[in-house]
């Protein structure tokens, strides 16, 4: 059950910014036509709940625009942010009706949703969708393992740089990079960044100021960030820059 009312939204698939990265990326024309019959778009305002953990999810889908957080709540009421959903990320799990996490829009959010039952049938009948979903699942597993390294072994400066690099590289993949320069809007407040990274608010602010002072990032306001050199930011994150960088 979705507890908040989302706004109606429409999108031409030909103009979809995630068309070649989402679960439908490998679909042929006839397969896209089948998806067209079972899809609908939903728009959520920043701060609006998409679904609560334990609620029934009658849809599966992809983030088209915006960012959402995945949060888990413990029995004593403590919460922990466990992931970010960025454009093209898939929401929901085929074969599992109940939501595993709270999903909340942190910015204005647009989702391309598919009705659960017909989409699950398409997974079994359409190899292109099943293969792409498997690839995305394995990518998500790799990202989770990488994040374990970030939280467990990296310094505070490397943690901040890692989070910025993840968002910046995703921006680069959708065509906003120019000679490895990227601009982005931070989807999280500094308080949320502290919670996600296991740091204090003071440490987050101090490390962001240090990255700014050293010329790794340029801040315009509280949320707008320019990265003059993505390779340098990745180096600050302690990541290998020999490959994987968008050309």
- Spell out the per-residue pLDDT of the chain, length 247, in tens: 444 444 455 666 767 889 888 999 988 888 888 998 999 999 999 999 999 999 999 999 999 999 999 998 888 888 888 888 999 999 999 999 999 999 999 999 999 999 999 999 999 998 999 999 999 999 988 888 888 888 888 999 999 999 999 888 876 654 444 557 888 888 888 998 998 898 999 999 999 999 999 999 999 877 889 999 999 999 999 875 544 443 3
pLDDT at 240: 57
Six-digit token string for 75: 């029995």
168 contacts 224 by C-beta, under 8 angstroms: no
Q: Which pTM does this prediction carry? A: 0.81
C-alpha pair distances (Å), 147 with each of 82, 153, 198: 10, 10, 12
- Helix, coil or strand: residue 23: coil
Q: What one-character DSSP code corresponds to residue 130?
A: H
Strand residues in the chain grouped as ranges (E) = 7-9, 39-44, 49-51, 59-65, 68-73, 79-85, 90-91, 102-105, 109-115, 182-185, 218-220, 224-227
- Give the residue from 22, 175, 159 showing the smallest Cα distance to 87: 22
pLDDT at 49: 94
- Give the residue from 28, 30, 97 showing the smallest Cα distance to 60: 97
Torsion of CA 82, 85, 86, 91, to 10 degrees: 150
66 contacts 186 by C-beta, under 8 angstroms: no
Alpha-carbon distance of 111 to 133, in angstroms, equals 17
Query: Tell me: the pLDDT tens digits for 47-93?
Result: 999 999 999 999 999 999 999 999 988 888 888 888 889 999 999 99
> Which residues lie below 8 Å from residue 111, measured CB to CB, with a gap of 6+?
41, 42, 43, 44, 50, 61, 62, 63, 64, 91
Q: What one-character DSSP code corresponds to residue 5?
A: P
> Which residues lie below 8 Å from residue 10, measured CB to CB, with a gap of 6+?
41
203 contacts 170 by C-beta, under 8 angstroms: no
Alpha-carbon distance of 111 to 88, in angstroms, equals 9
pLDDT at 172: 60
212 contacts 160 by C-beta, under 8 angstroms: no
């Amino acid at each position: 059950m979705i507890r908040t009312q989302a706004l109606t939204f429409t999108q031409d698939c030909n103009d979809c910014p995630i068309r070649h990265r989402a679960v439908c990326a490998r679909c042929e024309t006839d397969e896209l036509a089948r998806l067209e019959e079972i899809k609908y778009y939903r728009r959520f305002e920043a701060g609006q709940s998409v679904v609560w953990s334990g609620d029934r999810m009658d849809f599966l889908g992809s983030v088209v625009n915006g960012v959402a957080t995945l949060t888990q709540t413990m029995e004593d009421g403590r919460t922990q942010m466990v992931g970010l959903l960025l454009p093209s990320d898939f929401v929901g799990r085929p074969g599992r009706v109940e939501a595993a996490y709270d999903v909340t829009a942190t910015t204005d959010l647009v989702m391309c949703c598919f009705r659960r039952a017909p989409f699950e049938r398409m997974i079994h009948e359409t190899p292109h969708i099943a293969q792409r979903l498997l690839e995305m699942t394995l990518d998500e597993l790799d990202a989770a393992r990488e994040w374990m390294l970030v939280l467990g072994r990296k310094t505070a400066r490397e943690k901040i740089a890692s989070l910025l690099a993840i968002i910046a590289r995703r921006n680069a993949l959708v065509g906003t990079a120019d000679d490895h320069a990227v601009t982005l809007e931070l989807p999280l407040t500094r308080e949320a960044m502290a919670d996600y990274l296991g740091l204090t608010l003071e440490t987050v602010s101090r490390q962001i100021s240090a990255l700014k002072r050293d010329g790794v990032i340029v801040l315009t306001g509280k949320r707008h960030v320019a990265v003059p050199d993505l390779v340098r930011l990745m180096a600050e994150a302690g990541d290998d820059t020999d490959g994987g960088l968008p050309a």
